[in-house]
Amino acid sequence: MKHRERTKLDFGGLRAAPSQAVGSVRLVPLVRDEPIEALRLYAVPTHADLTVVRLDPRTVYTAYVPHALVVELPGHAQAHASAGTQLLRPRAAPEDVFRVQVIDRLARREGGRSGKGSGSKGGKGGKRGKDGGERLRLLPQHLALDAYLSVGFAGPNVVWPELSREVLSRGLSPRSESVSYGRDVPGLADALRVFELYPGQVGVLLFVADAFVSALVTPGPDDYRRLHRTLVKDMYGELVIQHAVLHPEVAALWGKIDGSAVGSLEALSQAVDELRRDWSAFAGLMASGLVQAELDVTTVQRMGGFRLQRFLPSFHPHAENHVGEAIVDGSGRLAYLQTFRLSAAQARRGRLLATLVAEDWNLDETAQALETSRDELLARLRNNGLGHILKAHLR
Amino acid sequence: MTRSTPPRAHDPVLTGLPVGGSRAAARRVEREDLVTFINAAFSSTGQREFYGDAAGQAISIDFLHEYIHGNYRRLYARCLAVGLNHFNTAKILVRLLATTRETLVGGNGPRAARERAAVTEAWREEGRLVTAALRGLPAPQAFRSLRALAEQRVNNRRVRAIVRQWLGERRDPDFDAVKYRGALRAIVRHFHLRPPPERARFLFEGARGKPYAHPLFEAYRRARHDKRAIYELPYTVAEGFAARHRIDRATFLAGIEPRLTVRERLRLQAASGREGVEVRADLDALTLTRLCSFVVTRPLEERRARAEELHGALRRAARRIVEQQRWRLGAVGAVLDRSYSSSGSEEKRRRPLALALAGHYLLREAAERYEAWWTPPAAEALAGASGEAAGEVPDPALLLEPCGSTDLATPILAALRGRAPLVVVISDGYDNDPPGGAGEVLRVFRERLDPEARTVVVHANPVFDANDFSPRALTPFVPTIGVRDASDLPTMLAFARFAAVDAALDGLHEFLQARVAEVTATVEPLAAGEERP
């Protein structure tokens, strides 16, 4: 059931409308000409201060989760959701969560291992309780962040002499990352408040100081209208805060009409349409860090004709690194997308761990793959907070 | 895509240095300063707006007042004659009265004498303008201004004369004493006024002491211990007593209903509906803008149910303004913004939308031929609302809600295609689909398609942009005017020609002079000894 591929996201059917900028925040509406009617999405507030997700009998994922997303297939009678990880909320009534039993055992693994973020948020949890039908619950962004946290989480399979006993016996647990709450990003709440929804808008690209931060895509305009406000409760990396603090204003982007080519009101009206079309291409360019990037996509879940996927970036240190989750239809078109941009430090950690895993935790081969020396690799592990995987004399 | 700054009302690059050297430059600066100030003073109220907070608004408008007052005192006073909004009128008159001393001219010799004569002449005009402006303010704001003077320890012959004169003209001073007791007490004490003994005792003793002969004063005294007496008092005063007696809201509203003023009735519509008490507002007693504010804040079902009634009241209110000001226009195209930003703020709920609706009704009454384009289009709102009742609404504009993005370019193009000689755009100036599209369209239109300006385009903006010290402009090629009340629209359209890039200062002076003459004709001058501070 687990299906991995390396691919780009398919933004087909979506186009960008002209942006709206307030302070340092720029929001680019995404518009879909034909909304995807076969899927509904809405947020369910969780009201919990801390959410603990049990991924398997021995692994829990702990985070502040402001809301879960419920995905529904309207008009579908048969139950499709299969279990992955399950969300256990303290005090949750069992029927809320587990009214329908988990069918698909395979998916249990899918949830992946995860770490625990103490106080901070860590990432993950795809949970689905399927109550009585074709519904899937997932914890937005956490599903993606869990994928990031689970890189190398299980620890090495080979007992290399350099590795500490700790990592050999327990893997990377506990593994935590800290992120910021949207409300703490200066100006974001204001920008979302004054944002004027575009007709037919189904998504948004969020830029802070014109650095691409995250994307949200929903199946239809109604879903987006419901989810617009949840952006302020989402997680953002430290880079976003830095940008928002350092650049209180972004430049306004104005298209210019070349007056010399205009001879009539009709020509003027065409020039305006031209201006509007330019936006679409331009926004694609601004978000090329996600749109053009090759991603490691894993399918987590299937439901109706749709697949729930999560993806990891290349972890290239000079590129934008976005993790995220997506629901795509049979032809690969995006129905739902939410991303989280890793900070530079997070990307570096991700790269080190991903390379270690790829090289079976062999330090020499890892150093070679990273085009560096063994000593340099040891220093990098230490500097990136991964020193504890090494024996004491190497730290 | 080019990266540039949004257009401003006065674009230094665009206008360049005028021919005629520094004197011409000074005149241009003077005109621009004045236009900026008048525009700001028409629209700003120091309250929170959709895009800006109250603190920023207050700092911005305070700076403008200080700047104009410091540099052009006489023109500053003359601004009182143009009909600025109450907030700014009150600010100006307090500032003028509080700083009279600065205008005293010392020294002997012919030059000082000449200056002194000029200043005396300016005082004379200022005194009459302030008297007239004070008369035009609503009572709460007038009392607040005078109280501010008392708190600033301003006291001279001129202020005393003006205060005395204003108080002497009040219709019911005893009622004022009850309703504005705190303010009046501060004023009486500071300016050493001598009200009749019973009113003086009421002001300073209030409910303590012996019974009063005056029924209202007596009701106030009894209200402390007698629940029934509070219903004889004005609503704002009674409300405090009701809280003290723990009278529940429904009972209180039912009892006080006959005492409510027109605007209190309007304000209490929602509360009374909730409590199940009927408080009916007389729609015909309201001004057009207030009526529009009322309409656009009603729920859709109510607007649909009362559509005929509201439509009639709006038309009558618009006609009253048109007839009063004898305002006639030829063909007019209107571009009206009902995007999400027209929802205003908590303090100014849906004010921009109300202004657009008021402009819609007003222009229709004033024009021979009228066509309106809403953005997003009004038809969308109707299509969205359940189709059944749509046909029966006399004007779809009644059912508009603020939502969606702002595409001004398309409706402006449509309006220009209509070839009306006057196109009025009512919008907050935030144009985001595409950003700056409206400005570009208007620029190219003026430069390429209509260089002789056969079509006049005016942008009326109900929102003061604190960062820009003026209402946000679409493009420097089109004059932007600030509007707070739709009944100012005729004045402001006349004023718009001074806001154009190439306007002359002389015209603006004449405009002001004419308004001053009009206003001061209604006021007798202060007595000879009292016109100087």
pLDDT in tens, B3-47: 455 555 555 555 555 566 778 888 888 888 988 899 899 989 888
Q: Is the pLDDT of residue A116 over 50?
A: no
Contact flag B432-A196 (C-beta cutoff 8 Å): yes
- Condensed to tens digits (0 to 9), the pLDDT of residues A154-174 reads 888 888 888 888 888 888 878
Q: Does B3 touch chain A if contact means CB atoms closer than 8 Å?
A: yes
Contact flag B3-A194 (C-beta cutoff 8 Å): no
Winning range, highest mean pLDDT, from A241-250, A361-370, B384-393: A361-370
Residue with tokens 């988990």: A102
Report which residue type is found at B431: D
Helix (H) or strand (E) holding A253: strand A253-254
Chain A residues close to B50, C-beta within 8 Å: 194
Contact between B292 and B314 (Cβ < 8 Å): yes
Interface of A with B (CB under 8 A): 17-22, 29, 194-199, 251-257, 259-260, 262-265, 268-269, 271-272, 275-276, 278-279, 282
Query: Which of B263, B6, B302 shows the shortest CA–CA distance to B138?
Result: B263
Q: Name the pLDDT band for A203 (thresholds 50, 70, 90).
A: very high
**Mean pLDDT along residues A144-158:** 84
Give the integer Cα–Cα distance in Å for A305 and A298: 16
| pLDDT at res. B233 | 95
For B261-270, the CB contacts below 8 A with 24+ separation are B261/B235, B262/B286, B263/B290, B264/B235, B264/B236, B266/B290, B266/B294, B269/B294
Q: What is the DSSP letter of B446?
A: I
**Mean pLDDT along residues B240-244:** 93
> What percent of chain B lies above the pLDDT cut of 90?
49
Give the integer Cα–Cα distance in Å for B351 and B429: 14
Contact flag B404-A196 (C-beta cutoff 8 Å): yes
- Cα angle B498, B503, B505 (rounded to 5 degrees) comes to 80
| pLDDT at res. B8 | 57
- Condensed to tens digits (0 to 9), the pLDDT of residues A296-343 reads 998 887 877 888 888 999 898 888 999 998 988 888 888 899 999 998
Residues 6 or more apart in contact with residue A371 via CB below 8 angstroms: none
Chain B residues close to A210, C-beta within 8 Å: none
Q: Name the pLDDT band for A109 (thresholds 50, 70, 90).
A: very low
What residues 32-51 of chain B have any CB closer than 8 A to a CB of chain A?
Answer: 50-51
Closest chain B residue to the Cα of A20, Cα to Cα = B432
Any idea which of A264-278, B40-54, B462-476, B500-514 has the lowest mean pLDDT?
Answer: B500-514
| pLDDT at res. A50 | 65
- Mutate which of A229, A257, A280 to disrupt the B interface (most B C-beta within 10 Å)? A257
| pLDDT at res. A48 | 62
Q: Name the pLDDT band for A3 (thresholds 50, 70, 90).
A: confident
pTM: 0.84
**Mean pLDDT along residues B384-398:** 66
Q: Name the pLDDT band for B507 (thresholds 50, 70, 90).
A: confident
Give the integer Cα–Cα distance in Å for A113 and A353: 15
| pLDDT at res. A101 | 27
Q: What is the DSSP letter of A234?
A: S
For A283-288, the CB contacts below 8 A with 24+ separation are A283/A16, A283/A19, A283/A28, A283/A205, A284/A11, A284/A16, A286/A28, A286/A205, A286/A207, A286/A210, A286/A212, A287/A28, A287/A205, A287/A212, A287/A215
| pLDDT at res. A115 | 37
Any idea which of B89-103, B314-328, B369-383 has the lowest mean pLDDT?
Answer: B369-383
ipTM value, please give it: 0.78
Q: Mean pLDDT score of chain B, rounded to an integer? A: 87
| pLDDT at res. B530 | 76
| pLDDT at res. B11 | 54
Q: Name the pLDDT band for A176 (thresholds 50, 70, 90).
A: confident
Higher pLDDT, B158 or A121: B158
Give the integer Cα–Cα distance in Å for A10 and A28: 18
Q: Is the pLDDT of residue A133 over 80?
A: no
Closest chain A residue to the Cα of B51, Cα to Cα = A194
Q: Name the pLDDT band for A130 (thresholds 50, 70, 90).
A: very low
- Condensed to tens digits (0 to 9), the pLDDT of residues B45-99 reads 888 888 888 999 999 999 999 999 999 999 999 999 988 999 999 999 999 999 8
Contact flag A198-B417 (C-beta cutoff 8 Å): no
Give the integer Cα–Cα distance in Å for B131 and B93: 9
Residues 6 or more apart in contact with residue B520 via CB below 8 angstroms: B81, B125, B128, B129, B132
Give the integer Cα–Cα distance in Å for B353 and B344: 8
> What percent of chain A lies above the pLDDT cut of 90?
20
Chain A residues close to B436, C-beta within 8 Å: 252, 254-255
**Mean pLDDT along residues B467-492:** 88
Higher pLDDT, A285 or A193: A193
- Condensed to tens digits (0 to 9), the pLDDT of residues B436-459 reads 889 999 999 988 888 888 889 999
**Mean pLDDT along residues A236-246:** 88
Higher pLDDT, B145 or A101: B145
Q: Does B440 touch chain A if contact means CB atoms closer than 8 Å?
A: yes
**Mean pLDDT along residues B201-205:** 94
What residues 308-347 of chain B have any CB closer than 8 A to a CB of chain A?
Answer: 339-341
| pLDDT at res. A1 | 44
| pLDDT at res. B361 | 95
Q: Is the pLDDT of residue B422 over 80?
A: yes
**Mean pLDDT along residues B372-384:** 76
- Cα angle B243, B245, B246 (rounded to 5 degrees) comes to 60
Q: Is the pLDDT of residue B491 over 60?
A: yes
Higher pLDDT, A172 or A47: A172
Which of B3, B341, B448 is opposite residue A253, by nearest beta carbon? B3
B367-375 and B456-461 beta bridge pairing: unpaired
Contact flag B444-A259 (C-beta cutoff 8 Å): yes
Higher pLDDT, A239 or B374: B374
Q: Is the pLDDT of residue B278 over 60?
A: yes
